[in-house]
Amino acid sequence: MNTPDPNVGNLRAPRWLTPFGLFALLFFIGAQLTAFFISPPERDMGNLQKIIYVHLPGAWLMGVAYLVVMVASIGYLWKRRERQDLVAASAAEVGLVLNGLTLALGSLWARPTWGVWWTWDPRLTTTAILFVIFAGYFALRSFVDDDDRRARWSAVVGILGFINFIIVYMSVRWWRTLHQVQSSPETLDSPYVLGVRLNAIAFLFLMIFFIAYRYHIARIERATQSLEEERALTGGAVHV
Amino acid sequence: MSAGHEWSRVSAMVWKDLTAEWRAKASFHAVVFLAGLILMLFGFALGPDQDALAEAGAGIIWLTLLFSGVLTFNRCYERELEDGAFEALLLYPGDRRSLFLGKLLSNLAFLLMVELLILPAAALLYGLPILESVLPLAVVLGLGTLGFVTLGTFYAAMASRLRAREVLLPLLLFPMLIPLLLASVEATGALLEGDAMGRAAGWIRLLVVFDAVFVTASFLAFEYVIEE
């Protein structure tokens, strides 16, 4: 028997998701092309400078994604809605990807400009610490079987991790005196500013799409799981 | 319930844990020996140049404390979990955060006792002048240990109830402790060198902030970790 589950109807992807994803992708391509063509090769770095259009927005949006984790986690502990936990987990996953991307691209950039793959610069170090903190978040999630417990515990770990972000940054900054001012549109020359801003918006759209899509998948996973549990309990054969 | 009442619950927890520790002694000895062993291993890994070892002294002390101390946290809950004693503890009336405070204080006492033995051993092995600045060093050690024990006790409340507790606890705990490690090592190192530049004060302030933030945060969040 293949009686449709009444909940499955709700599991369809929201109507806006696919068009929005396409729009985000096109916007990203457009922003990259625009940035490439409007910016002249940099005086010292040449075309190497162009990595900034993925590195910098990636780093910013990593922060935004982790902020979403923090807000959704506080929301979960307060209201206890399952979807808040799923949003937090989805945002953490996207944040971790952006975090890894930031580290990898930064490393690629550091090699030709600073001559080393890695240096104990405050921002590099903070980004790496953030990566291990949120990797721990996923380690915890994967070891807890009970949904409710996983949601509560990972919410707490996510909030504490985000709080630590500020302390980590301060401590690492004191540890290694800052040798380069934080990149922001104010510190960049004007032809590059537009490119960075455009790509930051493109990354924002992509991030929203990825989180929404991951959240959608997480809901399907959750529904499949409860369906299987239900079938196992009622002893009925599993129909595929 | 009154604060006085809660305090008596906290002290009962501390008393119970320390008595159990005192009667068994096995785990205390194990942790002290492991710490001593790690101290020696660092000597082999970084030695035998005495000057280089003295320079790395502060870092060696703190890593030794972190690596050996992390073993105490899961154990303090495992003892409760073995015979379902934890459920009984949770059933008692009163604020559950008293449980956390009790565990925190008994772990703190335990680790401070370990440090009392380990610090002189490190000073001997690496030729560190600890006697010249005993009081400020004790402040740094106390503040650093408080932060370490707070987060350790808090994360172990989760990790100790999972299959992969031995791996999971350091995985969750150590990244969170990086600011504490930096501040403790820098402050200890500055003090051991005589602190002519007054560098230690800033790091001690950072330790105070770290402790204040995470004692408060974990105290508030403990309820969410423990509820079933």
Start-to-end Cα distance in chain B? 22
What per-residue confidence (pLDDT) applies to A2? 45
What per-residue confidence (pLDDT) applies to A1? 40
Q: What is the dihedral of CA B179, B180, B181, B186, to 10 degrees?
A: 90
What per-residue confidence (pLDDT) applies to A101? 93
Find the CB nearest B186 among A144, A168, A175.
A175
The conformation of residue A47, written as its DSSP 8-state character, comes to G
pLDDT over 70 at A9, yes or no: no
Task: Count the Cβ atoms, other than its own, within 10 Å of residue B227.
Answer: 11
Q: Which chain B residues touch A158 with a CB distance below 8 Å?
A: none
For residues B79 and A75, the model is more confident at A75
Q: With contact defined as beta carbons under 8 Å apart, do A151 and A89 qualify?
A: no
- Strands (DSSP E) along A83-218, which ranges? none
pLDDT digits over A78-127, tens only?
Answer: 999 989 999 999 999 999 999 999 999 888 888 888 888 888 877 888 89
What percent of chain A shows pLDDT beyond 70? 85
pLDDT digits over A212-225, tens only?
Answer: 999 999 999 988 98
Find the CB nearest B217 among A139, A149, A163.
A163
Does B172 reach chain A within 8 Å, measured CB to CB? yes
Subunit contact B175:A129, Cβ cutoff 8 A: yes
Residue identified by tokens 């009925």 is: A236
Gap between the Cα atoms of A133 and A220, Å rounded: 27
Gap between the Cα atoms of B61 and B120, Å rounded: 10
Chain B, nearest residue to A169 by Cα: B179
What per-residue confidence (pLDDT) applies to B155? 94
Question: Is A46 in a helix, a strand, or coil?
Answer: strand
Find the CB nearest A160 among B168, B176, B227.
B176
Model confidence, pTM: 0.87
Domain encompassing residue A165: 17-230
Kindly state the average pLDDT of the residues A126-139.
92
Mutation site, A150, A156, A169, A175, interface B, largest B CB count within 10 A: A156
Half-sphere exposure of A169 (CA within 13 A, CB side): 11
> Considering the domain boundaries, does residue A10 fall inside one?
no
> Considering the domain boundaries, does residue A149 fall inside one?
yes
Chain A, nearest residue to B211 by Cα: A167
**Of A13, A170, A203, whose CA–CA distance to A97 is shortest?**
A203
Gap between the Cα atoms of A15 and A11, Å rounded: 11
For residues A23 and B165, the model is more confident at A23
Gap between the Cα atoms of B126 and B56, Å rounded: 9
What per-residue confidence (pLDDT) applies to B121? 92
Q: What is the dihedral of CA B108, B54, A173, A73, to 10 degrees?
A: -30
What per-residue confidence (pLDDT) applies to A187? 63
Subunit contact B206:A170, Cβ cutoff 8 A: yes
pLDDT over 90 at A68, yes or no: yes
Subunit contact A152:B228, Cβ cutoff 8 A: no
> Considering the domain boundaries, does residue A7 fall inside one?
no
For residues A114 and A185, the model is more confident at A114
- Regions in chain B scoring below 70 on pLDDT: 1
Find the CB nearest A143 among B163, B182, B214.
B163
**Of B70, B185, B77, whose CA–CA distance to B122 is shortest?**
B185
pLDDT digits over B165-208, tens only?
Answer: 888 999 999 999 999 999 999 999 989 888 777 788 889 999 99
Q: Which chain A residues touch B218 with a CB distance below 8 Å?
A: 160
Residue identified by tokens 């500020």 is: A166
Does B175 reach chain A within 8 Å, measured CB to CB? yes
What per-residue confidence (pLDDT) applies to B86? 81
**A80 CA to chain B: closest CA distance, Å?**
11
In the predicted model, what is the mean pLDDT of chain B? Answer: 89
Domain count, chain A: 1
Q: With contact defined as beta carbons under 8 Å apart, do B13 and B106 qualify?
A: yes
> Considering the domain boundaries, does residue A12 fall inside one?
no
Instruction: Read off the CATH number of the domain in which A26 is found.
Output: 1.20.120
Chain A, nearest residue to B212 by Cα: A167
> Considering the domain boundaries, does residue A238 fall inside one?
no
In the predicted model, what is the mean pLDDT of chain A? Answer: 84
Q: Which chain A residues touch B164 with a CB distance below 8 Å?
A: 143
> Considering the domain boundaries, does residue A177 fall inside one?
yes
Q: Which chain A residues touch B213 with a CB distance below 8 Å?
A: 163, 167
**B19 CA to chain A: closest CA distance, Å?**
31
B132 token code pair: 């010249």
What per-residue confidence (pLDDT) applies to B213? 94
pLDDT digits over A135-181, tens only?
Answer: 999 999 999 988 899 999 999 999 999 999 888 888 887 777 643 45
What percent of chain B shows pLDDT beyond 70? 100
Rounded to 5 degrees, φ, ψ at B105 are: -70, -40
Gap between the Cα atoms of B224 and B228, Å rounded: 9
Q: With contact defined as beta carbons under 8 Å apart, do A213 and A85 qualify?
A: no
> Considering the domain boundaries, does residue A2 fall inside one?
no
Subunit contact B202:A174, Cβ cutoff 8 A: yes
Kindly state the average pLDDT of the residues A39-65.
81
> What are the distances in angstroms from CA B53 to CA A57, A70, B42, B189, B191?
43, 42, 9, 12, 16
> Considering the domain boundaries, does residue A6 fall inside one?
no
